[in-house]
Amino acid sequence: MPKPPAAPASRTQLYTAAERTRRDASPWTVVQGILAPLQFLVFAVSLFLVVRCLVTGHGYEAATHSVIVKTLVLYTIMVTGAIWEKDVFGRYLFAPAFFWEDAVSMVVIALHSAYVAALLTGALGPTALLLLALAAYATYVVNAAQFVWKLRQARRDPASGASRAPRSEVAA
């Protein structure tokens, strides 16, 4: 009877030395560093427009356009992020170090894509569409928090090559 495959070794560090070297050398690291705050800015503006429309009943077209822009930025960061993950970890998605972030990212993409599909097909009315956008945005916030947590982990890793965070930041 064949033995079951061994469980993957737990990672005590976010990156191995080789992965860290590949991360630092990848041009996609810079791309991700630019796209992540851009996506958050687009999200914040769109969230405002969506909530304003739900509360006041005005600005539906602006809210709709903003969700489409947010979705396009999301697709862009996901494709470039997958390329970054391939550069660093040798696989496009679900590298052990980012498995759960990628899993939640798939839910984020599914919800944004459902919004676009429902908009294009007329499957949902305006209020339902905007509520679907809010569900997508709530999931995005969870996913963004996951990635911020990983960034903080990488900065705290003494082998990361980055200086350790000051004591006041560690406690926060």
pLDDT tier, 163 (very low <50, low <70, confident <90, very high otherwise)? very low
pLDDT per position as a tens digit, 5-39: 444 445 567 889 999 999 999 999 999 999 999 99
| C-alpha distance from residue 90 to each of 37, 84, 105, 107 (Å) | 25, 9, 19, 23
- Please give the model's pTM, rounded to 2 decimal places: 0.82
Asked if residue 1 has pLDDT above 70, the reply is no
pLDDT per position as a tens digit, 66-118: 999 999 999 999 999 999 999 999 999 999 999 999 999 999 999 999 999 99
Confidence (pLDDT) at 171: 32
Tokens linked to 91: 């696989």
